[in-house]
Amino acid sequence: MSISSSSTPYTESLEGSSLDGVESPSLVASNDDGEEEEEESSDEETSLAESLSTQDAIDFSDGNLLGPDRLADLAVQIKEFAVTTLTLSNNGFVDLEEKQQYNDDSHCNRGILAFAKALETHTTITSLDMSQNNLGVRGQSGLVALAKSVTSGVLQSLDVSNNTILGLKGMRYDAIKALAHACTTPSGSNLKDLRCTQNSIHATAVAFLGMALVDTPLEHLDLSENALGIDSMGRRSSAGINSMVMSFSSDKCNLVTLNLSENFLGNEECILLASVLESMRSLKEVDLSFNDVHALGARHLADALKFNDTLMHLNLGGNHVQDQGCGDIAESLKHNETMVSIILAANDLTTSSCFYWIDCLQSNRVLKELNIDENENMEDVDKRDAMEWVRGNVDLLAMREDPDNYDLAVKSKILRDNLFIKLPREEKEIITRLVSNVSIKNDHDMYERVSTICPPDRASMLRMTNNLLSLMTMTKEDKAVRLVQKAYRRLQERKRKEAALREKEAMRRRMAKTKSKKSFGASLREKGMEGEKVKSGKLVRAGNVKSVKGHHTNASSKNVVVR
């Protein structure tokens, strides 16, 4: 459980003092006669109580409130504290030595019973850490009372990790049933954060909790390091996950984060979870690390991610996804617009997976974290290449969030280095200028050059430059489109005029060439035939052609004289 910034460990302040005069082993000393005497005065005890009453967050963890009797004394004074966050972890509130001596459930749990009673009427404590306190090693009454206090008080966050919720033999279900009831909205609970890690909760037990999630205010559920994939007899079972999945499909399930790491889950459980991912509109983070998920489970998750638009973080580290499963996930994220972090470390991946991600990141513009470490068969060079693409996303997203913090040169470099449209470098730079500074109104040449790249219709252009234009607001985007369209029309008109001029010039040249040929031919004929007398008595003047000895005479000639 997180402690607020005002939280202060009270190791030093508690040394030599006790709550309301109750002695602690660390607060007394022995003299030669074996008699104990107090080290601190009652004035100092009063000063300590006053200082605690003004704190927002108090940390009594790691033996600072050791034993059930100290917890019972805290329960008496808790009403004087305006604390909102209380950390009581690792204090042994159920004494293991007493457990051997007494067979009395209420006696061994006297501390937690008294504290739970006080918690029911407390109006400020919203976060409580009771982890690692031997709860449940002797009877279930303490945990049941603590769960009941959740429905009566204002508690929003509860950590009961590393206890013994199911008893020493793992067959006691009173506590898990009480916690399940405390997680339901009809019970009047305000609980939003429940952490039950390292409690040996198996599939049979978690089914009770799963059924309660149909209508719950819970937003954060941490069940890591349990045995949700194994039943009470030690056999593989998906019954627990199945009961949870049935609740997840409810419209009243408000889970935001779900941690199921280290729970002996396999492909079957992964497929069940994937089947409801699309309908879980509130879920943003899922942790399935260190389970037994293979490529089959990863493929079903990948199919679900194609239609899920809320999940932001997915942890599959420490499984057996391999290249095939990694490729399926990378393919599904090509057009995903919400996933920002994915962990695939220690998954038997090879260099092929790097190429899958490089291909994915040419289209994906939101992924900011990709962890593919601890895969021995992956080349470092290829892994670095994939990481470079991820860092490009980070730069672009940072610039998008605070564009005023970057000058034009930096913007242009970031965009140029991370432009994934398949265009030559020169054309990429043109579009980069367009997106980096669309306020340039007089640079007509730039827009004309852009218009030769971008098609004229709005839909095609936005599709082509989607990654870059998304960095701008809609107003600037529309402005850029209008400028390009205008430049395109102007360019087309200029091309039409230029084509007409070229055609006119070509025609002029053809006519000039024809005239030149005629003049040259006439000159030759004039020199060779002038004054020639033909036997037929016909005279051909200069510039005319006469038929002589089988030669053809120009029929259109007007200068032929016949005697």
CATH number of the domain at 384, please: 3.80.10.10
DSSP state of 216: B
Do both 192 and 50 map to the same domain?
Answer: yes
| pLDDT-based confidence at residue 1 (cuts at 50, 70, 90) | very low
Q: What is the pLDDT of residue 188?
A: 81
Q: Has residue 219 been placed in a domain?
A: no
Q: What is the pLDDT of residue 67?
A: 87
Nearest residue to 277 (alpha-carbon basis) of 313, 239, 305, 243 = 305
Instruction: Tell me which of 401, 432, 458 is where a domain ends.
Output: 401
Do both 285 and 369 map to the same domain?
Answer: yes
Do both 96 and 145 map to the same domain?
Answer: yes
Count, residues in the chain? 563
Q: Has residue 281 been placed in a domain?
A: yes
Structure tokens at 46: 């009063």
Q: Has residue 515 been placed in a domain?
A: no
Q: Has residue 220 been placed in a domain?
A: no
Do both 366 and 450 map to the same domain?
Answer: no
Per-residue pLDDT reduced to its tens digit, 324-352: 999 999 999 988 889 999 999 999 999 99
Over 80: is that where the pLDDT of 536 sits? no
> How confident is the model over 429-441, as a mean pLDDT?
51
Q: What is the pLDDT of residue 345?
A: 95
> Which segment of 211-220, 298-307, 434-443, 489-498 scores lowest on mean pLDDT?
434-443
Instruction: Tell me which of 200, 235, 269 is where a domain ends.
Output: 200
Q: Has residue 382 been placed in a domain?
A: yes
Q: Has residue 513 been placed in a domain?
A: no
Do both 37 and 139 map to the same domain?
Answer: yes
Q: Report the SS3 class of residue 441.
A: coil
Do both 76 and 192 map to the same domain?
Answer: yes
Do both 192 and 240 map to the same domain?
Answer: no
> How confident is the model over 202-217, as a mean pLDDT?
92
Q: What is the pLDDT of residue 160?
A: 96
Structure tokens at 515: 């005239």
- Tell me the residue range of the domain where 443 lies: 422-502
Do both 193 and 233 map to the same domain?
Answer: no
Backbone conformation region of residue 47, classed left if phi is above 0, alpha if psi is from -120 to 50, else beta? alpha
Phi and psi at residue 137, in whole multiples of 5°? Answer: -70, -25
Do both 66 and 196 map to the same domain?
Answer: yes
115-134 burial: b if 16+ Cβ within 10 Å, else e: bbebbeebeebbbbbbbbbb
Do both 315 and 234 map to the same domain?
Answer: yes
Do both 238 and 384 map to the same domain?
Answer: yes
> Which segment of 27-41, 364-378, 425-439 scores lowest on mean pLDDT?
27-41
Q: Has residue 432 been placed in a domain?
A: yes
Do both 148 and 16 map to the same domain?
Answer: yes
Number of domains in the chain: 4
Over 70: is that where the pLDDT of 305 sits? yes
Instruction: Tell me which of 166, 200, 234 is where a domain ends.
Output: 200
Please, which residues have CB within 8 angstroms of residue 98's CB and are 6 or more apart in sequence? 68, 107, 108, 138
Q: Has residue 217 been placed in a domain?
A: no
